[in-house]
Amino acid sequence: MNYREFEDLTLSFFVLTLLFSNFELKNVPYAGIAVLLSFVFHELAHKHLAGRYGFIAYYRRWDLGIILAIIIGILSRFLTGETWIFAALGALQIRGLYTYHDPRAFGKIAAAGPLTNLLLGVAGVALLYALPLSGWALKVVYFTSSVNLWVAFFNLWPIPPLDGWKVMRWNVAYWAIMIGVAYTFMALL
């Protein structure tokens, strides 16, 4: 990871932490842990699988997306009391020696991020139902579960350039299962 990629991930991380904390200082530690385990792991999963396919991959922030996320977050918090999260802050850029676009490889690479979120989100929901958590532990597990499931669900929308578009082009059944699991487990929270 080079300095620019680290800087882009870090800025995106802080913006998402602010948004998922609902602009409340008391929620920042919980949101920070949740964003680390959702957004950062999501991007690293993409990067890892892209590397396994022989691609060079790096995260790049999208400044307009960051500005829109902050404006939408602030306006919605001011108008409704809740922060609406528009989280198109950047994306993994994939480069390779070949110009051939393999929908199967790109579909799997796209699925790696939301699948990581689903695994963490479902595990969190299972912990919430299985263990008598309270206090700090309850908040960390709840935030981590809800953020992971939201990131998976949002990224699985079948709209270019989101992951869902690439997964759906590769395999509609996998896409349907993944977005269905994300939606179902979000409803359980």
Instruction: Determine the pLDDT at residue 80.
Output: 94
Structural contact between residues 155 and 178, judged by C-beta atoms closer than 8 angstroms: no
Catalytic positions are 43
Instruction: Determine the pLDDT at residue 143.
Output: 96
Instruction: Determine the pLDDT at residue 97.
Output: 67
Q: Is the peptide bond before 161 cis (omega within 30 degrees of 0)?
A: yes
**Domain coordinates of the chain in residue numbers?**
3-188
Instruction: Determine the pLDDT at residue 43.
Output: 95
Instruction: Determine the pLDDT at residue 173.
Output: 98
CA atoms within 13 A on the CB side of 130: 7
Ranges of H-type helices in 83-134? 103-130
| Nearest-angstrom CA–CA distance, 118 and 158 | 17
Q: Per-10-residue mean pLDDT for the chain, 189 residues long?
A: 94 97 96 96 96 92 96 95 89 76 88 98 97 96 97 95 95 98 96
